[in-house]
Amino acid sequence: MCGIVGVVSNKDVSHKLYEGLKNLEYRGYDSVGMCFLHNKSFLQKKGVGKLAEVQKKVNFLRFKGNIGIAHCRWSTHGGVTEANAHPHSDCSNRISVVHNGIIENYSKLKDELVKKGHEFTSQTDTEVIAHLIEDNLKGYSIEKAIQLALKKLEGSYALGILHADSPSKLFAARNESPLILGVGNNENFIASDVPSILGYTNKVVYLDDKEIAVLMKGSFKVFDLDGRQLRKKINVINWSREAAEKGGFKHFMLKEIYEQPRAIADTLNGRAANNHVVFDKEFGLSENYLRKIKKILILACGTSWHAALVGEFMIEELARIPTEVQYASEFRYRHALLDKDTLVIAISQSGETADTIAALREAKKQGVKTLSICNVMGSSITRISDGVIYTRAGPEIGVASTKAFTTQLSVLYLLTILLSKLRKTLNEGQVKSMIECIRKIPMQLPAVLHEDDEILRCAELYHKRTNSLYLGRGVNFPIALEGALKLKEVSYIHAEGYPAAEMKHGPIALIDKNMPVVFIAPHDIYTYSKILGNIEEVKSRGGIVIAIATEGDKEIPKKADHTIFIPKTLYTLSSILAAIPLQLLAYHIADKLGRDVDRPRNLAKSVVVE
């Protein structure tokens, strides 16, 4: 899980590499490095720490060169040391490589190379790539040597490669790890994601697995591993550079929380009106097929898995299709049996989560149809699936997922309406009123965001507590899980989510005057009165109650220490509104504790390793 950027230009590239890395730091921040190619020799510098720390020591910006590669690392093989930081070189220091991914057979390859006399200077899997290219260079062109080397690799890679004797060329390749090409004016780029180069170009080529690109300042070519040239489409990206920046907020996480009215409105735009739901052409699944499916299986990880649980509730309740949710990481090793009438849905913000990709591939092997719900255009998951629904959240930079989550819920709700309509489990009037309610959500969100003062007060009072419980029921049980996950990941406070009724089966033993308990308790016809009882149980044991309630609720404020109101909406949609105060609570607590909110320790934005 690392970030790569590379540039070949008619000018010095150090600023562009530096800016590109700054935008990629969410992918890895234990060490950084750059290599410039100048007058047929390399200037290579690297160091341990975040980009700004290493910059203070080495000042990357002083280096000359019209071609260069850069890398920020999140270690997988080998400790966090300067020697293990990228780029890595061959014995002759004529090849320089940056890599994201894992070479699974590196140890066998390394043994073979060592026997042939290659000398290694790091413990990384990446270094074998540089030596392997060097080994194949004898008698072959650099292009051929790269092809031959890549054919020996097992595992995942996104690569940027420089060869000192090819001073006008930047080489790139990918297999199961994200890499894009950026097409500029008299300069071309490689990068792990689109936002990192959006300041320079919005023209992007998506590399596919087992493809090699050769970039020069005014042109690029893409080949397969046998050297056959491929035709690639140039895509124009409509995300603005500003969309990927903080826009005056202290952290990306806060900016992204506040962007949710826009993100949800964009996600709904053109897809839901009157009594119709229509997805874009990438949806790819016919109405006929959707009428016939007998089961839905949703695969995802982390926050996207919580969205899947909400989706399960919505689809079963309204479209009446049996639905199951599994962790992608578990599914792939379960030897599950899939019926051909099962639709498999993968949910992923990044579209690059290794476990979700592997689970989706496993499902595809069994011949079922697959649909992905994803935020990143052209990402791996979207290219594996038969159909895609994009959430239009825009780039999500904060490691903690916020706007991606609520846009996932919005898409799942639209999908539920479409399925309900096709299968006639809801009548036209019901469909129309559900569409009206979701279209109101972006207008209702500012009221939720206005509750921020009370949420901040809770953060001020309770940020030093070391444990907390999140309780919800029905569609809001996954929201309790998500609230607890948000708090854990950004504040490092232990938090657990439970179905509220389960509290009495164990967690109630934890309640005392030091335990904040967050209840997600919007008004509903099924469980509201039971949740009131659960609040009493916590209060009578001295616990602190923070409740999310529907505006106008008179009962909850009498019992809870703090009440945060969300507007009235349909029960299923209350999940979207209720998620937001929990994101804000986690954010403010983490900020009060001085945590690195956008880059919490040990976490990375896209978990591209298993």
> Which one of 45-53, 197-205, 342-350, 413-421 is the stretch in contact with ligand M6R (CB under 6 A)?
342-350
C-beta of residue 381 within 8 angstroms of C-beta of residue 356: yes
CA-based radius of gyration for the chain: 25
Backbone φ and ψ of 189, nearest 5°: -130, 160
Instruction: Name which of 305 and 571 has its Cβ closer to ligand M6R.
Output: 305
The phi and psi torsions of 588 (rounded to 5 degrees) equal -65, -40
Minimum gap (Å) between residue 297 Cβ and ligand M6R: 16
Distance CA 212, CA 328 (A): 29
List, in sequence order, every residue forming a beta bridge with 373; answer none if it has no partner: 347, 389
Q: Is 372 in the site for ligand M6R (CB under 6 A)?
A: no
Shortest distance (Å) from residue 302 CB to ligand M6R: 2
Residue whose pair of structure tokens reads 């590196």 in the numeric block: 106
> Which residue type occupies 226?
D
Q: Of residues 458-517, which lie at the interface with ligand M6R (CB under 6 A)?
A: 489
Q: Which of 2, 35, 374, 458 is catalytic?
A: 2
What is the closest distance, in whole angstroms, from the C-beta atom of residue 396 to ligand M6R in the complex?
A: 9
Instruction: State which of positions 37-96 bind ligand M6R (CB under 6 A).
Output: none
Distance CA 230, CA 455 (A): 54
Give dist(CA 58, CA 35) in Å, integer. 12
Cβ atoms < 10 Å from Cβ of 294 = 11
Do 508 and 456 form a contact (C-beta atoms < 8 A)? no
Question: Site residues for ligand M6R, window 1-20 (CB under 6 A)?
Answer: none
CB of residue 553 to ligand M6R, shortest distance in Å: 29
Distance of CA 407 to the CA centre of its chain: 13
CB of 328 to ligand M6R, least distance (A): 8
Contact region for ligand M6R (CB under 6 A) — 146-154, 418-426, 542-550, 600-608? 600-608
Report if residue 382 touches ligand M6R, rule: CB under 6 A: no
Q: Restricting to residues 281-320, which ones interact with ligand M6R according to CB under 6 A?
A: 301-304
- CA torsion 185-191-193-196 (nearest 10°) is -60
Say if residues 91 and 131 touch (Cβ distance below 8 Å): yes
Nearer residue to ligand M6R within complex by CB, 37 or 371: 371
| Closest approach of ligand M6R to the CB of residue 593, in Å | 17
Distances (CA, A) of 292 to 283, 285, 296, 298: 17, 11, 11, 17
> Omega of the bond prior to 87 within 30 degrees of 0, cis?
yes
Cα gap 408→420, rounded to integer Å: 18
* Residue closest to ligand M6R when measured from CB atoms: 302
Stretch that binds ligand M6R, among 182-190, 347-355, 531-539, 570-578 (CB under 6 A): 347-355
Q: Which of residues 317-336 bind ligand M6R (CB under 6 A)?
A: none
Chosen residue from 122, 356, 406, 569 binding ligand M6R by CB under 6 A:
356
Among 401, 407, 534, 563, binds ligand M6R (CB under 6 A): 401
Distances from the Cα of 448 to the Cαs of 73, 190, 261, 460, 473, in angstroms? 38, 40, 10, 19, 20
Q: Which of 170, 222, 399, 584 binds ligand M6R (CB under 6 A)?
A: 399
Contact indicator for 170, 87 with CB cutoff of 8 Å: no
Q: Which stretch binds ligand M6R (CB under 6 A): 15-23, 73-81, 393-401, 528-536?
A: 393-401
What's the closest the beta carbon of residue 380 comes to ligand M6R, in angstroms? Answer: 10
Is 605 noted as a catalytic residue in this protein? Answer: yes
Residue closer to ligand M6R by CB (options 35, 309) is 309
CA–CA separation, 375 and 564 (whole Å) = 29
135 near ligand M6R, rule: CB under 6 A: no
Quick one: 166 or 303, whose CB is closer to ligand M6R? 303
Q: Of 349, 391, 468, 527, which lies in the binding site for ligand M6R, with binding defined by CB under 6 A? A: 349
Whose Cβ is closer to ligand M6R: residue 441's or residue 582's?
A: 582
Number of residues that bind ligand M6R (CB under 6 A): 16
Cβ–Cβ < 8 Å for 219, 181? no
Q: Cβ of residue 351: shortest distance to ligand M6R, in angstroms?
A: 7
Helix axes 574-592, 477-491, angle to 10 degrees: 20
Closest to ligand M6R by CB, 8 or 347 = 347
**170-175 and 157-163 strand pairing:** antiparallel
> To the nearest whole angstrom, how small is the minimum distance from the Cβ of residue 603 to ligand M6R?
6
Within 8 A by CB and 6+ apart from 411, the residues are 267, 373, 389, 391
Kindly give, in sequence order, each residue whose CB lies less than 8 Å from that of residue 111, ignoring residues fewer than 6 positions away: none
Q: What angle do CA 124, 5, 204 make, to 5 degrees?
A: 130
Q: Which of 350, 420, 534, 575 binds ligand M6R (CB under 6 A)?
A: 350
Q: Which is nearer to ligand M6R, 13 or 381 (CB)?
A: 381
Q: State which residue, 401 or 574, has the beta carbon closest to ligand M6R.
A: 401
Pick the binder of ligand M6R from 136, 382, 406, 606 (CB under 6 A).
Answer: 606
Applying CB under 6 A, among 133, 205, 318, 400 the residue interacting with ligand M6R is: 400
Spell out the residues 6+ positions from residue 502 whose beta carbon is closer than 8 angstroms to its own.
Answer: none
Closest Cα partner for 405 from 309, 546, 525, 324?
309
Residues noted as catalytic: 2, 605
Binding site for ligand M6R (CB under 6 A): 301-304, 348-350, 353, 356, 399-401, 489, 603, 606-607
